[in-house]
Amino acid sequence: MNDLKLHDAPCRTIALVSGKGGSGKTMIASTMTTILDSLGYRTLLVDGDLGTAGLTYYMGLNTVSNISVGLTNLTQEEYHYDFSMIERVVQDMNNFERSKFLGVGDHRRYLKNGGDFYESHSLSVTFENLIEYGSNLYDFIIVDCRGGIDRESLAVCSAVDDIIIVAETDTTSFQATQYLVDTLYDNELSSKLSGFFVNKVFDDPSTIARSGTASFKSQYLSSVPFDLDATKSFLVGELPNINSMFATQIWHGLFKLYPSLIRSPSRRQLSFNDFRGLSLRDDDSLIGGMILSFSSLMLGFYLFYTNQLGYSPFKEFDTVIILMLMLLATFSGMEPTRKAMGRVFSLYKRLIVRVFSGK
Protein backbone atom coordinates (compact mmCIF):
# COMPACT_ATOMS: atom_id res chain seq x y z
CA MET A 1 0.00 0.00 0.00
CA ASN A 2 1.56 3.26 -1.09
CA ASP A 3 -1.42 5.58 -0.68
CA LEU A 4 -1.41 7.85 2.32
CA LYS A 5 -4.26 7.60 4.78
CA LEU A 6 -7.35 9.67 4.08
CA HIS A 7 -7.76 11.36 7.48
CA ASP A 8 -5.60 14.03 9.09
CA ALA A 9 -5.94 12.71 12.66
CA PRO A 10 -2.88 10.88 14.04
CA CYS A 11 -2.84 7.13 13.65
CA ARG A 12 -4.27 5.38 16.72
CA THR A 13 -2.51 2.15 17.68
CA ILE A 14 -4.43 -0.33 19.80
CA ALA A 15 -3.48 -3.53 21.62
CA LEU A 16 -6.28 -5.93 22.55
CA VAL A 17 -5.36 -7.97 25.62
CA SER A 18 -7.10 -10.39 27.98
CA GLY A 19 -6.29 -12.12 31.23
CA LYS A 20 -6.65 -15.58 29.69
CA GLY A 21 -7.20 -17.28 26.38
CA GLY A 22 -10.62 -17.87 24.87
CA SER A 23 -11.99 -14.44 25.78
CA GLY A 24 -13.03 -13.60 22.21
CA LYS A 25 -10.35 -10.98 21.48
CA THR A 26 -9.85 -12.30 17.97
CA MET A 27 -13.48 -11.81 16.98
CA ILE A 28 -13.60 -8.38 18.59
CA ALA A 29 -10.38 -7.29 16.84
CA SER A 30 -11.61 -8.43 13.43
CA THR A 31 -15.04 -6.87 13.99
CA MET A 32 -13.46 -3.57 15.03
CA THR A 33 -11.53 -3.63 11.76
CA THR A 34 -14.73 -4.30 9.80
CA ILE A 35 -16.46 -1.35 11.47
CA LEU A 36 -13.54 1.05 10.97
CA ASP A 37 -13.17 0.04 7.33
CA SER A 38 -16.89 0.67 6.75
CA LEU A 39 -16.45 4.16 8.22
CA GLY A 40 -13.70 4.96 5.73
CA TYR A 41 -10.67 4.39 7.96
CA ARG A 42 -7.58 2.62 6.70
CA THR A 43 -6.87 -0.04 9.29
CA LEU A 44 -4.00 -2.49 9.70
CA LEU A 45 -5.05 -5.60 11.61
CA VAL A 46 -2.09 -7.43 13.15
CA ASP A 47 -1.89 -10.88 14.73
CA GLY A 48 0.39 -10.35 17.71
CA ASP A 49 0.03 -13.89 19.07
CA LEU A 50 3.14 -15.56 17.71
CA GLY A 51 2.48 -18.65 19.81
CA THR A 52 -0.86 -19.83 18.43
CA ALA A 53 -1.45 -17.49 15.46
CA GLY A 54 -5.19 -17.78 16.05
CA LEU A 55 -6.15 -14.63 14.14
CA THR A 56 -3.91 -15.65 11.24
CA TYR A 57 -5.60 -19.02 10.82
CA TYR A 58 -9.04 -17.44 11.24
CA MET A 59 -8.41 -14.83 8.54
CA GLY A 60 -6.73 -17.42 6.33
CA LEU A 61 -9.94 -19.42 5.93
CA ASN A 62 -11.79 -16.88 3.77
CA THR A 63 -10.34 -13.38 4.10
CA VAL A 64 -6.59 -13.56 3.37
CA SER A 65 -4.97 -15.60 0.60
CA ASN A 66 -1.43 -16.01 1.96
CA ILE A 67 -0.71 -16.65 5.64
CA SER A 68 2.79 -18.05 5.17
CA VAL A 69 4.41 -14.62 5.56
CA GLY A 70 4.08 -12.10 8.35
CA LEU A 71 5.72 -10.90 11.55
CA THR A 72 8.24 -13.73 11.64
CA ASN A 73 9.73 -12.36 8.42
CA LEU A 74 10.20 -8.98 10.10
CA THR A 75 11.85 -10.28 13.27
CA GLN A 76 15.05 -11.18 11.45
CA GLU A 77 17.61 -8.54 12.35
CA GLU A 78 18.49 -7.66 8.75
CA TYR A 79 14.86 -6.60 8.18
CA HIS A 80 14.33 -4.52 11.34
CA TYR A 81 14.54 -1.23 9.47
CA ASP A 82 13.54 -2.45 6.02
CA PHE A 83 10.09 -0.93 5.42
CA SER A 84 9.95 -2.50 1.96
CA MET A 85 9.83 -5.91 3.64
CA ILE A 86 6.78 -4.78 5.64
CA GLU A 87 5.03 -3.84 2.40
CA ARG A 88 5.77 -7.31 1.01
CA VAL A 89 4.24 -9.21 3.92
CA VAL A 90 1.16 -7.03 4.56
CA GLN A 91 -1.83 -8.72 2.90
CA ASP A 92 -5.02 -7.54 1.22
CA MET A 93 -8.29 -8.73 2.77
CA ASN A 94 -11.32 -9.88 0.80
CA ASN A 95 -14.34 -7.56 1.09
CA PHE A 96 -12.28 -4.78 2.71
CA GLU A 97 -11.88 -1.56 0.74
CA ARG A 98 -9.15 0.18 2.70
CA SER A 99 -7.70 -2.18 5.28
CA LYS A 100 -4.85 -4.70 5.37
CA PHE A 101 -3.74 -7.67 7.43
CA LEU A 102 -0.39 -8.68 8.89
CA GLY A 103 -0.34 -12.24 10.12
CA VAL A 104 2.23 -14.16 12.11
CA GLY A 105 3.81 -16.07 9.24
CA ASP A 106 5.80 -19.16 10.22
CA HIS A 107 5.15 -19.11 13.97
CA ARG A 108 6.72 -22.55 14.42
CA ARG A 109 10.09 -21.12 13.39
CA TYR A 110 9.57 -18.31 15.87
CA LEU A 111 8.82 -20.74 18.70
CA LYS A 112 11.82 -22.85 17.83
CA ASN A 113 14.15 -19.84 18.08
CA GLY A 114 12.29 -18.08 20.89
CA GLY A 115 15.19 -17.87 23.38
CA ASP A 116 17.54 -15.94 21.12
CA PHE A 117 14.65 -13.83 19.95
CA TYR A 118 13.85 -12.55 23.43
CA GLU A 119 17.48 -11.88 24.29
CA SER A 120 17.86 -9.59 21.26
CA HIS A 121 14.69 -7.62 22.10
CA SER A 122 13.82 -7.92 18.42
CA LEU A 123 10.09 -8.18 19.05
CA SER A 124 9.97 -4.71 20.59
CA VAL A 125 12.04 -3.33 17.74
CA THR A 126 9.77 -5.04 15.20
CA PHE A 127 6.60 -3.49 16.60
CA GLU A 128 8.14 -0.06 17.05
CA ASN A 129 9.24 -0.04 13.41
CA LEU A 130 5.92 -1.47 12.25
CA ILE A 131 4.05 1.36 13.96
CA GLU A 132 6.49 3.95 12.60
CA TYR A 133 5.92 2.54 9.11
CA GLY A 134 2.14 2.38 9.46
CA SER A 135 1.54 5.73 11.13
CA ASN A 136 1.57 7.59 7.80
CA LEU A 137 -0.44 4.95 5.94
CA TYR A 138 -3.16 3.91 8.36
CA ASP A 139 -5.70 5.60 10.59
CA PHE A 140 -5.77 2.68 13.02
CA ILE A 141 -3.43 -0.21 13.79
CA ILE A 142 -5.06 -2.98 15.83
CA VAL A 143 -2.94 -5.74 17.37
CA ASP A 144 -4.58 -8.90 18.68
CA CYS A 145 -2.29 -10.06 21.50
CA ARG A 146 -1.95 -13.49 23.04
CA GLY A 147 -4.29 -14.38 25.90
CA GLY A 148 -2.64 -13.76 29.26
CA ILE A 149 0.36 -11.49 29.71
CA ASP A 150 3.89 -12.36 28.63
CA ARG A 151 6.91 -10.69 27.05
CA GLU A 152 5.26 -10.71 23.63
CA SER A 153 2.19 -8.86 24.86
CA LEU A 154 4.29 -6.45 26.93
CA ALA A 155 6.36 -5.64 23.84
CA VAL A 156 3.18 -4.81 21.92
CA CYS A 157 1.71 -2.79 24.80
CA SER A 158 4.92 -0.78 25.07
CA ALA A 159 4.66 0.24 21.42
CA VAL A 160 0.96 1.17 21.12
CA ASP A 161 -1.09 4.18 22.24
CA ASP A 162 -4.09 2.44 23.77
CA ILE A 163 -4.59 -0.87 25.57
CA ILE A 164 -8.09 -2.34 25.46
CA ILE A 165 -9.00 -5.22 27.76
CA VAL A 166 -11.43 -7.99 26.85
CA ALA A 167 -12.88 -9.65 29.96
CA GLU A 168 -15.58 -12.23 30.59
CA THR A 169 -18.12 -12.39 33.39
CA ASP A 170 -16.77 -15.47 35.20
CA THR A 171 -14.62 -15.27 38.33
CA THR A 172 -11.58 -16.88 36.69
CA SER A 173 -11.51 -14.29 33.92
CA PHE A 174 -11.96 -11.44 36.41
CA GLN A 175 -9.03 -12.62 38.54
CA ALA A 176 -6.84 -13.22 35.48
CA THR A 177 -7.66 -9.74 34.21
CA GLN A 178 -6.72 -8.22 37.56
CA TYR A 179 -3.34 -9.98 37.34
CA LEU A 180 -2.88 -8.64 33.80
CA VAL A 181 -3.60 -5.09 34.98
CA ASP A 182 -1.18 -5.47 37.90
CA THR A 183 1.52 -6.64 35.49
CA LEU A 184 0.92 -3.64 33.24
CA TYR A 185 1.25 -1.40 36.31
CA ASP A 186 4.50 -3.11 37.29
CA ASN A 187 5.84 -2.39 33.80
CA GLU A 188 4.69 1.26 33.90
CA LEU A 189 2.12 0.76 31.14
CA SER A 190 -1.00 1.57 33.15
CA SER A 191 -1.36 5.02 31.58
CA LYS A 192 -2.23 3.32 28.29
CA LEU A 193 -5.22 1.43 29.71
CA SER A 194 -8.10 2.95 27.76
CA GLY A 195 -11.11 0.75 28.43
CA PHE A 196 -12.54 -2.74 28.65
CA PHE A 197 -15.18 -4.81 26.90
CA VAL A 198 -17.19 -7.45 28.76
CA ASN A 199 -17.59 -10.28 26.26
CA LYS A 200 -19.84 -13.36 25.96
CA VAL A 201 -22.54 -11.80 28.14
CA PHE A 202 -25.90 -13.55 28.59
CA ASP A 203 -26.97 -11.99 31.90
CA ASP A 204 -26.96 -8.59 33.57
CA PRO A 205 -23.30 -7.38 33.37
CA SER A 206 -23.74 -4.35 35.63
CA THR A 207 -21.72 -5.85 38.51
CA ILE A 208 -18.59 -6.53 36.48
CA ALA A 209 -19.01 -3.23 34.62
CA ARG A 210 -18.94 -1.33 37.92
CA SER A 211 -16.31 -3.40 39.72
CA GLY A 212 -14.17 -3.64 36.58
CA THR A 213 -13.88 0.12 36.36
CA ALA A 214 -12.09 0.12 39.71
CA SER A 215 -10.24 -3.20 39.39
CA PHE A 216 -9.10 -2.79 35.79
CA LYS A 217 -8.24 0.91 36.24
CA SER A 218 -10.00 1.85 33.01
CA GLN A 219 -13.40 2.88 31.66
CA TYR A 220 -16.17 0.46 30.82
CA LEU A 221 -16.78 0.49 27.06
CA SER A 222 -19.55 -1.98 26.30
CA SER A 223 -20.95 -5.44 26.99
CA VAL A 224 -20.95 -7.82 24.04
CA PRO A 225 -23.61 -10.54 24.08
CA PHE A 226 -22.92 -14.20 23.54
CA ASP A 227 -24.12 -14.36 19.94
CA LEU A 228 -24.65 -17.77 18.32
CA ASP A 229 -24.57 -16.33 14.81
CA ALA A 230 -21.24 -14.61 15.49
CA THR A 231 -19.85 -17.84 16.95
CA LYS A 232 -20.98 -19.80 13.90
CA SER A 233 -19.30 -17.21 11.68
CA PHE A 234 -16.05 -17.61 13.59
CA LEU A 235 -16.12 -21.40 13.26
CA VAL A 236 -16.32 -21.22 9.47
CA GLY A 237 -13.88 -18.33 9.11
CA GLU A 238 -16.44 -15.65 8.30
CA LEU A 239 -16.57 -12.19 9.86
CA PRO A 240 -19.63 -11.27 11.96
CA ASN A 241 -22.30 -9.22 10.20
CA ILE A 242 -21.70 -5.52 10.80
CA ASN A 243 -25.42 -5.05 11.53
CA SER A 244 -25.55 -7.83 14.11
CA MET A 245 -26.17 -7.23 17.80
CA PHE A 246 -22.60 -8.46 18.41
CA ALA A 247 -21.02 -5.87 16.10
CA THR A 248 -23.34 -3.09 17.27
CA GLN A 249 -22.14 -3.42 20.87
CA ILE A 250 -18.51 -3.29 19.74
CA TRP A 251 -19.29 -0.23 17.63
CA HIS A 252 -20.75 1.53 20.68
CA GLY A 253 -17.54 0.75 22.56
CA LEU A 254 -15.44 2.29 19.80
CA PHE A 255 -17.69 5.36 19.78
CA LYS A 256 -17.22 5.78 23.53
CA LEU A 257 -13.46 5.45 23.17
CA TYR A 258 -13.07 7.76 20.15
CA PRO A 259 -16.15 10.03 20.05
CA SER A 260 -14.45 12.58 17.80
CA LEU A 261 -13.52 9.92 15.22
CA ILE A 262 -16.31 7.33 15.32
CA ARG A 263 -19.92 8.18 14.56
CA SER A 264 -22.62 6.70 16.74
CA PRO A 265 -24.14 3.48 15.34
CA SER A 266 -27.73 3.60 14.13
CA ARG A 267 -28.81 0.75 16.40
CA ARG A 268 -29.14 1.47 20.09
CA GLN A 269 -26.81 0.03 22.71
CA LEU A 270 -28.17 -2.73 24.90
CA SER A 271 -28.84 -1.61 28.46
CA PHE A 272 -27.98 -3.76 31.47
CA ASN A 273 -31.66 -4.65 31.80
CA ASP A 274 -31.70 -5.92 28.21
CA PHE A 275 -29.24 -8.63 29.19
CA ARG A 276 -31.53 -10.07 31.86
CA GLY A 277 -32.87 -13.27 30.43
CA LEU A 278 -31.24 -12.33 27.13
CA SER A 279 -32.19 -14.59 24.27
CA LEU A 280 -29.41 -15.76 22.02
CA ARG A 281 -31.48 -14.61 19.04
CA ASP A 282 -30.62 -11.54 17.03
CA ASP A 283 -32.85 -8.50 16.44
CA ASP A 284 -34.51 -9.94 13.32
CA SER A 285 -35.42 -13.08 15.23
CA LEU A 286 -36.91 -11.07 18.08
CA ILE A 287 -39.00 -8.95 15.68
CA GLY A 288 -40.16 -12.02 13.79
CA GLY A 289 -41.13 -13.75 17.02
CA MET A 290 -43.19 -10.74 18.10
CA ILE A 291 -44.99 -10.62 14.74
CA LEU A 292 -45.87 -14.31 14.93
CA SER A 293 -47.03 -13.96 18.54
CA PHE A 294 -49.16 -10.91 17.72
CA SER A 295 -50.73 -12.73 14.75
CA SER A 296 -51.57 -15.69 16.98
CA LEU A 297 -53.09 -13.37 19.57
CA MET A 298 -55.32 -11.62 17.01
CA LEU A 299 -56.55 -14.90 15.54
CA GLY A 300 -57.20 -16.24 19.02
CA PHE A 301 -59.24 -13.14 19.94
CA TYR A 302 -61.26 -13.45 16.74
CA LEU A 303 -62.01 -17.10 17.40
CA PHE A 304 -62.96 -16.41 21.02
CA TYR A 305 -65.32 -13.48 20.32
CA THR A 306 -67.07 -15.05 17.34
CA ASN A 307 -67.88 -18.10 19.44
CA GLN A 308 -68.90 -16.00 22.45
CA LEU A 309 -71.26 -13.91 20.33
CA GLY A 310 -72.53 -16.95 18.54
CA TYR A 311 -71.49 -15.41 15.23
CA SER A 312 -69.54 -17.85 13.14
CA PRO A 313 -70.70 -17.77 9.52
CA PHE A 314 -68.72 -20.82 8.47
CA LYS A 315 -67.61 -23.66 10.71
CA GLU A 316 -64.99 -24.46 8.12
CA PHE A 317 -63.54 -20.97 8.68
CA ASP A 318 -63.07 -21.74 12.37
CA THR A 319 -61.21 -24.88 11.39
CA VAL A 320 -58.94 -22.85 9.11
CA ILE A 321 -58.18 -20.42 11.94
CA ILE A 322 -57.34 -23.27 14.30
CA LEU A 323 -54.98 -24.72 11.69
CA MET A 324 -53.39 -21.29 11.24
CA LEU A 325 -52.88 -21.01 15.00
CA MET A 326 -51.19 -24.40 15.00
CA LEU A 327 -48.92 -23.33 12.13
CA LEU A 328 -48.04 -20.06 13.86
CA ALA A 329 -47.21 -21.94 17.05
CA THR A 330 -44.93 -24.23 15.04
CA PHE A 331 -43.25 -21.35 13.19
CA SER A 332 -42.72 -19.46 16.47
CA GLY A 333 -40.43 -22.26 17.59
CA MET A 334 -38.34 -22.18 14.41
CA GLU A 335 -35.41 -19.75 14.45
CA PRO A 336 -35.01 -19.47 10.63
CA THR A 337 -38.71 -18.60 10.24
CA ARG A 338 -38.53 -15.91 12.94
CA LYS A 339 -35.43 -14.40 11.35
CA ALA A 340 -36.95 -14.44 7.86
CA MET A 341 -40.12 -12.76 9.14
CA GLY A 342 -38.07 -10.14 10.99
CA ARG A 343 -35.94 -9.39 7.95
CA VAL A 344 -39.00 -8.90 5.75
CA PHE A 345 -40.50 -6.53 8.34
CA SER A 346 -37.22 -4.58 8.64
CA LEU A 347 -36.97 -4.34 4.85
CA TYR A 348 -40.49 -2.93 4.51
CA LYS A 349 -39.88 -0.54 7.40
CA ARG A 350 -36.74 0.86 5.75
CA LEU A 351 -38.58 1.12 2.43
CA ILE A 352 -41.47 3.06 3.97
CA VAL A 353 -39.10 5.39 5.84
CA ARG A 354 -37.16 6.02 2.64
CA VAL A 355 -40.31 6.75 0.64
CA PHE A 356 -41.77 9.21 3.15
CA SER A 357 -38.45 10.86 4.02
CA GLY A 358 -37.55 11.31 0.37
CA LYS A 359 -34.09 9.79 0.88
Domain boundaries, the chain: 12-275, 283-357
Least reliable range by pLDDT among 130-144, 252-266, 324-338: 324-338
- Give me the percent of the chain exceeding a pLDDT of 70: 82
Please report which confidence band the pLDDT of residue 1 belongs to, taking 50, 70 and 90 as the band edges. Answer: very low
70: left (phi over 0), alpha (psi -120 to 50) or beta: left
- Give me the percent of the chain exceeding a pLDDT of 90: 43
Higher pLDDT, 100 or 284: 100
Please report which confidence band the pLDDT of residue 299 belongs to, taking 50, 70 and 90 as the band edges. Answer: confident
Q: What is the pLDDT of residue 59?
A: 92
CATH class for the domain made up of 12-275 = alpha beta
Q: What is the pLDDT of residue 18?
A: 96
Higher pLDDT, 85 or 270: 270
| Bridge-based pairing state of the strands 91-92 and 100-102 | antiparallel
Please report which confidence band the pLDDT of residue 7 belongs to, taking 50, 70 and 90 as the band edges. Answer: low
Is the confidence at residue 131, as pLDDT, over 80? Answer: yes
Q: What is the pLDDT of residue 8?
A: 66
Query: pLDDT digits over 57-111, tens only?
Result: 999 988 998 888 888 887 765 555 566 788 888 999 999 999 999 999 876 766 6
Higher pLDDT, 342 or 311: 342
Q: What is the pLDDT of residue 118?
A: 46
Least reliable range by pLDDT among 210-214, 224-228, 344-348: 344-348
Is the confidence at residue 280, as pLDDT, over 70? Answer: no
The rounded distance, in Å, linking the Cα atoms of 169 and 201 is 7
Least reliable range by pLDDT among 110-119, 157-166, 225-234, 237-246: 110-119
Classified as helix, coil or strand, 222 is strand
- CB 140 within 8 Å of CB 36: yes
- CB 304 within 8 Å of CB 325: no
Lay out the sheet containing 220-225: strands in order across.
Answer: 91-92, 100-102, 43-47, 140-144, 12-17, 162-167, 193-201, 220-225
The rounded distance, in Å, linking the Cα atoms of 92 and 56 is 13
Query: pLDDT digits over 141-190, tens only?
Result: 999 999 999 888 999 999 999 999 999 999 999 999 999 999 999 999 99
Higher pLDDT, 29 or 308: 29
- The closest of 34, 47, 95, 25 to 248, measured between CA atoms, is 34
Query: pLDDT digits over 318-339, tens only?
Result: 677 777 777 877 776 676 777 7
Please report which confidence band the pLDDT of residue 221 belongs to, taking 50, 70 and 90 as the band edges. Answer: very high
Please report which confidence band the pLDDT of residue 35 belongs to, taking 50, 70 and 90 as the band edges. Answer: very high
Q: What is the pLDDT of residue 330?
A: 75
Q: What is the pLDDT of residue 116?
A: 46
Average pLDDT, the chain: 84
Least reliable range by pLDDT among 217-221, 233-237, 258-262: 233-237
Q: What is the pLDDT of residue 323?
A: 77
